[in-house]
């Protein structure tokens, strides 16, 4: 009888336990309402203007003048009162009109007769007197997206993304008869090139993050996104055990593809800004730089026989995002989105490094001894070295 009473009371006690969880939420809500209604911080106001921040995310130059996309990051809504170009005040229009709330954006348009090839300095003046400067280093008309320009960008993306990966994968038949030592070397080469891509991706992500509005907390955004990407892909990759063979090659292609998407965003943004200088030498440099990626994708599948369709899919997965990135960057660019894309790629690359490193250790059953073998060190050094040397061709 006593036992039955205890069981009957259990649901009630559980209900009250959850009810108690609502108490701290209610107290917090009351505290927030009180803070907003009474404004106790008013007593600390010494007349200083609110903290303001303005980030210029996009600049468009056309026959109508200048158009700039700005994002506010102040503690209070901001009002752009005046705009100077080369130290002279100009009339401007704003869309949408009115104060710009924290985190919101607005387009500022000026009928300024910019001069081709010249440098122009734009200064935004808020109603509090704060100023924010933006330099247009070389004034050139912003390209207009047309079917012809998008097609040209697609060809470029395929040339620097898909083609080199496909060339690397073409080495697959020649590498199939590789012995254990060569296999270890190739897998370590994959780790080396991925390690270089990881460092390069993080550095580029942090550069774009620093150019974004402070409200996005650029460096923290990059780190959190990369860690989240790594953990999610590790969980997905191991839901059916440790990935090997074609599954591992797919993850390698995915990581490389995300990296190429981020690079494509940067190239597309350069097109949108009218500052693209991709000459023949630079395009060839990108192509040589990415050929090793195809070899790295092929390394885990040398002991299996994938179909031609699978190899084509791997090439498109690794190189195709470069095309999408160029299109996206040329049509709608913001530094925080490029930083996020690169951070996701960094997490994916880190996940692949872990999986390929584990595969090297398991390849001949000797574990850590295989990782410390000369073939492993040689492949690692070759991968990093080749990527570093070819990266010199694409850094300007």
DSSP codes of every residue in 352-394: HHHHHHHHHHHSSS-THHHHTSHHHHHHHHHHHHHHHHHHTTT
Whether the pLDDT of residue 46 is over 50: the answer is yes
Q: How confident is the model at residue 332 (pLDDT cuts 50, 70, 90)?
A: low
Whether the pLDDT of residue 41 is over 50: the answer is yes
The answer to whether the pTM exceeds 0.75 is no
237, 240, 243, 245: CA torsion to nearest 10: -130
- Torsion 76-133-109-147 (CA) sign: negative
User: Can you tell me which residue has the tokens 């200064």?
Assistant: 123
Give the Å distances, CA to CA, from 98 to 65, 72, 106, 127.
22, 12, 10, 12
Instruction: Give SS3 for 139.
Output: coil
pLDDT, tens only, 82-138? 999 998 999 999 999 989 998 899 999 999 999 988 899 999 999 888 899 999 888
Tell me the two tokens of residue 243. 């990935």
Nearest-angstrom CA–CA distance, 161 and 317: 10
Return the half-sphere exposure (C-beta side, CA atoms, 13 A cut-off) of residue 192: 24
User: Can you tell me which residue has the tokens 């990059």?
Assistant: 222
Whether the pLDDT of residue 164 is over 50: the answer is yes
> What is the structure's pLDDT at 275?
55
Nearest partner of 112 among 182, 61, 163, judged by Cα: 61
**Out of 29-43, 63-77, 210-224, least confident range:** 29-43
């Amino acid at each position: 009888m006593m036992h039955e009473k205890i069981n009957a009371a259990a649901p009630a006690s559980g209900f009250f336990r959850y009810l108690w969880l609502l108490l701290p939420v209610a107290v917090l809500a009351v505290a927030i309402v009180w803070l907003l209604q009474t404004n106790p911080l008013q007593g600390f106001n010494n007349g200083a203007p609110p903290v303001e921040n303005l980030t210029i995310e996009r600049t468009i130059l056309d026959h109508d003048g200048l158009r700039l996309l700005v994002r506010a990051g102040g503690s209070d809504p901001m009002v752009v009162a005046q705009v100077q170009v080369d130290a002279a005040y100009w009339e401007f229009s704003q869309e949408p009109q009115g104060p710009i709330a924290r985190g919101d954006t607005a387009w500022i348009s000026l009928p300024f007769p910019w001069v081709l090839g010249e440098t122009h300095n734009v200064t935004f003046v808020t109603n509090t007197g704060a100023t924010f400067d933006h330099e247009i280093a070389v004034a050139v008309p912003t390209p207009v997206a047309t079917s012809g320009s998008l097609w040209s960008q697609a060809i470029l993306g395929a040339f620097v993304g898909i083609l080199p990966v496909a060339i690397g994968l073409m080495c697959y038949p020649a590498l199939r008869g590789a012995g254990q030592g060569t296999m270890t070397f190739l897998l370590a080469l994959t780790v080396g090139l991925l390690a270089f891509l990881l460092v390069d991706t993080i550095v580029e992500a942090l550069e774009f993050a620093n150019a974004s509005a402070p409200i996005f907390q650029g460096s923290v955004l990059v780190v959190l996104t990369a860690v989240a990407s790594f953990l999610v892909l590790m969980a997905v990759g191991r839901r059916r055990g440790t990935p090997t063979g074609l599954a591992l090659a797919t993850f390698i292609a995915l990581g490389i593809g995300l990296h190429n998407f981020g690079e494509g965003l940067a190239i597309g943004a350069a097109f949108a800004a009218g500052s693209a200088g991709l000459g023949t030498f630079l395009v060839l440099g990108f192509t040589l730089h990415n050929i090793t990626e195809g070899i790295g994708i092929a390394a885990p599948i040398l002991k299996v026989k994938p179909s031609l369709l699978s190899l084509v899919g791997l090439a498109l997965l690794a190189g195709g995002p470069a095309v999408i990135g160029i299109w996206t960057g040329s049509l709608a660019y913001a530094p925080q989105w490029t930083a996020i894309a690169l951070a996701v790629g960094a997490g994916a690359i880190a996940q692949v490094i872990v999986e390929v490193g584990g595969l090297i250790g398991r390849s001949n059953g000797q574990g850590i001894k295989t990782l410390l073998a000369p073939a492993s060190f040689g492949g690692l050094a070759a991968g990093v070295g080749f990527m570093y040397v070819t990266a010199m061709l694409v850094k300007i």
